[in-house]
Each structure stands twice: as C-alpha cells, then as structure tokens.
Amino acid sequence: MSVSAESFSGSVASTTERGERDRAAYDHLWMHFTRMSSYADAPVPTIVRGQGTRIWDSEGREYLDGLSGLFVVQAGHGRAELAEAARRQAEQLAFFPVWSYAHPTAVELAERLAHLAPGDLNKVFFTTGGGEAVETAWKLAKQYFKLTGRPSKYKVISRAVAYHGTPHGALSITGLPAMKAPFEPLVPGTHKVPNTNIYRAPVHGDDPEAFGRWAADQIEQQILFEGPETVAAVFLEPVQNAGGCFPPPPGYFQRVREICDRHDVLLVSDEVICAFGRLGTTFACDKFGYVPDIITCAKGMTSGYSPIGAAIISDRIAEPFYGGGETFLHGYTFGGHPVSAAVALANLDLFEREGLNQRVLDNEAAFHKTLAKLLDLPIVGDVRGNGYFYGIELVKDKATKESFDEEESERILYGFLSKALFANGLYCRADDRGDPVVQLAPPLISDQSTFDEIEQILRSVLTDAWKLI
C-alpha cells in the first residue's frame, strides 16, 4: 500500500489517513527498541509537530516533552534558526566526506569543540551518533597502544547496568546482560565493576565520599586482576543513564583519574547524554572536575536538528597517528556531515546567546526540589540526578527498598505507567534496565512551570500505579 506524503504532514490527518498511516507504520517502519507486536491491533503513536517544550500527535493531542526526545532536543523544538542553518549549508555544499578532504563547517566545528573541551583534548573525530563515537574510542585505544609498543593492552572496564550503545564493540562495553544476550558472542575483553548507585550501595551507604572511593577502588582492583598490561581503557558516563541517573559521589572521578594514570589506562568520558548543557556545562567532565583522555559525545550537539557525534581526543593519544605515516583505519561516510556541522555551530551560537548552560545551573536546584516532593508517595524510593537529568526509582516497600519482581515490572511499568504518563500529557521514560525508574530530561529552556507540570502529572499517575501493587 502506498501512503501519500501529504498524509504524513504536521496537520491533524483525517480518520482515513490516520488509519492508512497506522497500517503503514506497523507494516513497514521497524521501530527501534520497540515490541512491534504491541501495535498489531493498535494505532502507532505518531508525533507530527514540536514547539518549545511541547509536542503534538496526529490526533492533535499535546504533550510535555519531558525527555527532550531522547536526551537530545536541548534548545527545544521549533527553532527556526537551526533549520535555516541546515538549509543554507545544503544549498552551498550538501555533502562531502572528511576522508582525506576537509570542508569549512567540519573544520570550524572541530576547532570550536577543541576550544570548549578541557585540557589538551584538541583532536575531533566525527561520527554520526553516540554508539559510533564509543566504537571509535575503543578502536582508537587499541591501535594507540599497538603503535606505542604495548599491543597486549586491549581490554575495557565499564560499569554494571551502564549503556554505551548498540554496535558490537559498544554493546560489549554495555553492562546490561539482557540487552546483550541475543547478540552474543560479542567482542571479548570487556569487564564490569560496580556503579555509583548510592541508594543501593553495598557499603558506605551513609557516607558518599567513602562510597565514592570504594567504587573507584573497584576499578583499580579489576585492572590489577586483569593485569595492567592488558587494560586499554575505562569507559564511564559522568552521570550513568541506565538504571536511573547515578551521579558520581564526591571525589570519585579524581580517584579514577589517579588510578588510570598509575596503570597507563585511558579514561574515556562517555558524554553522549551528559554533554551540551544537560548538566549545565558544555562538557560534563568540567562539572565534576576531571580531564579525560577521550570524550565521546553526540545527541545535544545539534539539539537533534541533524545527526552528529564525535570522539574528542587528547593530543597525547593522537600524537602517534600524526607522524610516521600511520593512519587510524576507521571512518564513517556521514561523519562530520556539512549540514550537521553547520547546525551544530548554529546550536552552539544559540547556547551562548541564550545562556542555556547557566540557565540549567540556575534552575537545577529548583528542578530537584520539585521532583523531591514525590518522595512523600509510597511508590517513590529515590530521586537522583544532576542538572536537567533525573531518575525517580520506584519501589514496592519504601522501608526495605524492595523492588518489583519481573511480573510486577511488566504489569506496572509497561502495562500501566508508560501508557498512563503519555495519556496524561507527559512524554518521558519508564524503564527497568536495572531497578524500575522514571527518567526525566526536559529541554534546557524549561522553567519552574515545566517542573511543576511534570511533578503534578507524575504525582497523579504514580498514585494510581501504587493501587496496582
């Protein structure tokens, strides 16, 4: 069946058009991380328009975008200047690869990112997304150690429950067994250590600094167990996403940096979600006071108006590739795409002009305070995060912190919560990769009225969810 482009427009479609589109969506559009059977006999939710912090579906219903699309739309929806930047660049040079050639927007964006990045992170390798950036960082680390005479250093350490992407290498680094199982065997040489979920800390739960040191020391123990001569890199998110927004305890990253230096291991700061204002700084490592060897980033670089990602690499790590005829044998057709680079530059201009980073810093305490009101609900065990990036952990026993079992998680999170939140006008994420959580990451233009609306919708829906336990 053929469906006209007009029926996919931003206006509210007729009943016939909606039916045709729903059928086409199920028959032809294989949606990502989606249980497709859910839509065999039900319409596919279809978003047709966005403006500011709001989105609208094909039925004309309005929602608050409490997740910035997917931790992406930092500047909000409907920013005409970002679309205009794409149009102007496409008219001048729509595409050219950065394979032995440069083009102006890639050069300018690389220079700008290098100036914004901390320390000597001055080399920018462009990708089209975050998983590719993580893949790039691991391959780079492997080849770097081969070029510098340490070919046995290839292993990677990352944290339990952490998500680092879907390519085979990035998925191997990911710490979510159920997500990896369908694709095993994966790339060998990846090892997991405890994360920084102090709410469920096995030790020092009442002392964040001691817990942070303990968690960092688990990384050193793993390096020593594997043998420092075999470990290439440690991959860590500044605030871990999967499991529900685990911020680092005080001193954690300083200790990790010391450990990596001691054992000649690269520290990779995976900032695919946390960079570009999500925590109130351009790069999240700046907020927590450490300088990594590589930053991986994507998502908010263009506020989602065009796809792009990057690995930003220190001069020290890049040096062997800049002499002696060596080549990093890696690349992507669309990495550093001229249109995406132009949009990223316009987005960074917008950040500066509107002070979006400072806006997050000024309002993050109010966001936390507003969400913390939900702690009076029996189903809410913990509220945690940083900046405009928060997770609300759900429990069935507040005193013991007992979580849902598999059946309860399926019934409450997927059978009720996800649908109820959307039906009540809030797009966010109900997730059980780890313990059950609701995750929130509104656009950086959000203010107290946005926070209050999020809290009110959550309060109503979570109150109803508790009745199902």
Are 260 and 237 members of one domain? yes
Please, are residues 189 and 233 in contact by the beta-carbon 8 Å criterion?
Answer: no
Q: Pull the structure tokens for residue 306.
A: 């065009």
Q: 392 and 267 share a domain?
A: no
Whether residues 122 and 149 share a domain: the answer is yes
Q: Is residue 52 situated within a structural domain? A: no
On whether residue 201 sits in a domain, the answer given is yes
Q: Measured between alpha carbons, how far is 378 from 466 in angstroms, rounded to an integer?
A: 7
Query: Residue 31 falls within a domain, yes or no?
Result: no
Say if residue 293 is in the same domain as residue 145. Answer: yes
Torsions phi, psi for 49 (to 5 deg): -155, 150
> Which 8-state DSSP code applies to residue 263?
T
Q: List the pLDDT tens digit at each of the 469 positions of the chain.
A: 333 444 444 555 666 777 788 888 889 999 998 888 888 888 899 999 999 999 999 999 999 999 999 999 999 999 999 999 999 999 999 999 999 999 999 999 999 999 999 999 999 999 999 999 999 999 999 999 999 999 999 999 999 999 999 999 999 999 999 999 999 999 999 999 999 999 999 999 999 999 999 999 999 999 999 999 999 999 999 999 999 999 999 999 999 999 999 999 999 999 999 999 999 999 999 999 999 999 999 999 999 999 999 999 999 999 999 988 999 999 999 999 999 999 999 999 999 999 999 999 999 999 999 999 999 999 999 999 999 999 999 999 999 999 999 899 989 998 899 999 999 999 999 988 889 999 999 999 999 999 999 999 999 999 999 999 8
Apex 86 CA angle, 80 and 91, nearest 5: 125
Written as one letter, the residue type at 403 is: S
Reading the block at residue 243, the tokens are 């499991």
Strands (E), 205-257: 231-236
Is residue 89 situated within a structural domain? yes
- Cα distances from 137 to residues 126, 227, 250, 318, in angstroms, run 11, 21, 26, 11
- Count structural domains, the chain: 2
CA separation for the pair 432, 426 (Å, rounded): 18
Quote the distance between the C-alpha of residue 321 and its chain's center: 29
State whether 329 and 391 are in the same domain: no
Burial class (CB in 10 A: 0-12, 13-18, 19+), 398: middle
Domain boundary among 307, 322, 354: 354
Range of the domain at 420: 64-70+360-467
Task: Output the domain CATH number for residue 306.
Answer: 3.40.640.10
Backbone angles phi, psi at 446, to 5 degrees: -65, 150
- Indicate if 388 and 335 belong to the same structural domain: no
User: Residue 352: how many CA atoms within 13 Å on its side-chain side?
Assistant: 8
* Residues 281 and 415 grouped into a single domain: no
Q: Are residues 199 and 155 in the same domain?
A: yes
Q: Quick check: helix, strand or coil at residue 267?
A: strand
Residue 15 falls inside a structural domain: no
**325 and 386 together in one domain:** no
Residue 28 within a domain: no
Helix 356-372 to helix 338-354 angle (10° resolution) is 70
Looking at the fold, whether 189 and 275 belong to one and the same domain comes out as yes
CATH code of the domain in which 462 resides: 3.90.1150.10
Query: pTM for the full model?
Result: 0.95
Do residue 122 and residue 209 come from a single domain? yes
Residue type (1 letter), 441:
A
Query: Which amino acid makes up residue 313?
Result: I
Alpha carbons within 13 A on the beta-carbon side of 179: 22
Strand locations in 128-230 (E): 155-159, 190-193
